[in-house]
Every structure is written in structure tokens, then in C-alpha cells.
């Protein structure tokens, strides 16, 4: 700091021969800068302490930087992109997709107990304010179970036995379209996914959603050895936001160090 101030001083007092013709305000500024330079020479240790304290305060602020963006609000209220997005979210479904991948051992997801755990996790996810829907293998099995029991609503539930689950899956495999194949690996039923859609919200809300799902997933599937991973566009946007913040902190830190080095070297060269 002292060297930097002294370097700035010499930019003002380099031409003393023109002192008489300089404006009064500039001469006053020169005297102030000369006073600062004199103080720096006499109190080097004080300057170092001040610089260290300033750096520590700045560093504390940097690590507390919190980014929170809602990209939809970047557009004016009558912009087509914003109005279309808000219409879809109000009348149809959420516009932000989130995929939750569940991985276990072969035939893990034919077990009714495991399927009920998926159902429990979906109920928890749907409890979030901005969540519009979740879809998984469980939803299809519950619907099929109801249909084969003459549309009886009492059977809109996960089948009681593994044999019943296997029979429903056999019916699905016979269907040329087989929409359930989008939600389960029919090769060995070791992998399934939960598809979620929620409204466009600020990044802090997305972070809270992810943290809640991660905690609930650990509680629900940790005891049975099922691995849970989150992916999709929502995860991509959140990761990108974190990477941007990290790169900005690194970039500004490197620039600050480089500028300080250049100023100090320039000041020392001028003094010599």
C-alpha cells in the first residue's frame, strides 16, 4: 500500500519546475501526496499491518459471496419468453427438468419394498412448493394394478408381492410402445429414474431443493444400498453457476496479486 501510494505521488510531483504555473488545487493535492509519502517512509510497519488487516477483511468477504439469480426475471414482464414460460408453468407443468437416477443390484427394483421407498421419496419431492410433478416406474405400476382390477381405485398402489410386480412388467414388455422403458432398465432392473419438473425459481431455491432431496434419499435408500444421483438441466444450471462464481474469485484474486506486484516493482524501480 505504501509503495503504491508513493508511486502515485510521483505522478503528481514529477515536474516541480512548473509549480508556479500549476493551479492552486493541484498544489494542495501534491502537498497531501507528499505528506502520505512521508508517513509511509516513517511508518512502514504500520502500513504492513493495515495492508494485512485489509487483505484479511477482503478475503473474509470473498468466501462469503453468495450468488442468487433468477434468469427468467432478466426478461421484461411482457417478453414472449417470459410470458410463455409463465403460461406453461401455470396451466401445464414445470419447465425445469430434474432427473434422479437410482442404481442397485440386478432385480432390485422388482421388490415391492424398494418400490414403496421410491413412492415415499416422490411424495417428499412433491411437497416442495415449486415442484409440479414426479414420474417413475412406480406410477405406471400403480396405474396398471388399478386397471387390471377393473379400475378399482383401491388398487392404485404398489402390488403386495414380487410375483404381482413381475406379472405387471410382463404385460408392459408385450406392449410395442412400452413407455415404462423410459423409466427403468428392463435388462436387469438394476437402474430406474425419477423424472421431476418444477417451476423456474432462483438458484438458492434450487440449492435447498437439492439439499432436501439428497438428505431424504440418504435416509430412504441408504439402509438398502441403493445409490442415488441427481442430474438433468437443473443440476447443470446449478453446477454452471458454482463454476462461474469459482472462476470469478480466482480471476479477481490473480488480478489483485498481479497488479500489486507490478505497482510495487514499479515503485521500487522509481525510488532507486
Report the number of secondary-structure helices (H) and strands (E) in the chain.
Answer: 9, 4
According to the model, what pLDDT value does residue 24 have? 62
According to the model, what pLDDT value does residue 15 have? 46
pTM for this model (two decimals)? 0.69
* CA-to-CA dists, residue 241 to 98, 101, 244, angstroms: 16, 22, 5
DSSP 78: T
According to the model, what pLDDT value does residue 25 have? 67
Q: Which residue has the cell 487483505?
A: 55
According to the model, what pLDDT value does residue 10 have? 52
Q: Are 138 and 158 in contact (CB under 8 A)?
A: yes
Coil/strand/helix, residue 186: coil
According to the model, what pLDDT value does residue 54 have? 80
- Grouped pLDDT means (10 residues each) for the chain, 272 residues: 50 48 66 75 75 78 70 89 93 92 94 96 93 94 92 93 91 78 90 94 88 94 94 83 79 82 64 51
Rounded Cα distance between 103 and 188, Å, is: 11
According to the model, what pLDDT value does residue 173 have? 80
**Residue 192: is it exposed, middle or buried by C-beta count within 10 angstroms (0-12/13-18/19+)?**
buried
Q: Cell triple for residue 86?
A: 409463465
Q: Which residue has the cell 430406474?
A: 192
Q: Are 211 and 119 in contact (CB under 8 A)?
A: no
Q: Are 192 and 134 in contact (CB under 8 A)?
A: no
Amino acid at each position: 500500500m505504501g509503495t503504491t501510494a508513493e508511486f502515485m505521488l510521483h505522478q503528481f510531483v514529477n515536474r516541480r519546475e512548473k509549480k508556479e504555473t500549476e493551479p492552486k488545487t493541484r498544489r494542495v493535492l501534491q502537498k497531501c501526496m507528499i505528506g502520505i509519502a512521508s508517513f509511509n517512509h516513517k511508518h512502514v510497519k504500520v502500513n504492513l499491518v493495515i495492508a494485512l488487516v485489509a487483505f484479511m477483511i477482503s478475503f473474509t468477504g470473498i468466501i462469503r459471496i453468495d450468488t442468487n439469480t433468477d434468469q427468467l426475471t432478466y426478461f421484461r414482464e411482457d417478453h414472449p419468453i417470459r410470458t410463455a414460460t409463465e403460461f406453461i408453468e401455470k396451466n401445464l407443468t414445470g419447465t425445469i427438468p430434474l432427473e434422479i437416477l437410482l442404481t442397485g443390484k440386478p432385480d432390485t427394483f422388482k421388490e415391492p419394498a424398494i418400490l414403496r421407498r421410491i413412492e415415499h421419496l416422490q411424495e417428499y419431492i412433491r411437497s416442495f412448493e415449486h415442484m409440479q410433478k414426479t414420474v417413475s416406474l412406480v406410477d405406471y405400476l400403480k396405474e396398471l394394478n388399478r386397471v387390471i382390477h377393473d379400475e378399482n381405485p383401491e388398487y392404485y398402489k404398489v402390488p403386495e408381492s414380487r410375483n404381482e410386480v413381475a406379472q405387471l412388467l410382463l404385460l408392459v414388455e408385450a406392449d410395442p410402445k412400452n413407455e415404462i422403458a423410459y423409466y427403468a432398465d428392463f435388462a436387469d432392473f438394476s437402474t430406474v429414474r425419477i423424472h421431476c419438473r418444477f417451476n423456474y425459481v432462483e438458484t438458492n431455491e434450487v440449492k435447498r431443493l437439492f439439499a432436501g432431496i439428497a438428505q431424504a434419499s440418504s435416509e430412504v435408500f441408504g439402509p438398502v444400498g441403493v445409490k442415488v444421483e441427481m442430474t438433468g438441466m437443473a443440476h447443470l444450471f446449478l453446477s454452471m453457476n458454482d463454476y462461474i462464481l469459482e472462476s470469478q474469485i480466482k480471476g479477481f484474486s490473480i488480478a489483485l496479486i498481479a497488479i500489486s506486484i507490478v505497482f510495487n516493482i514499479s515503485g521500487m524501480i522509481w525510488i532507486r
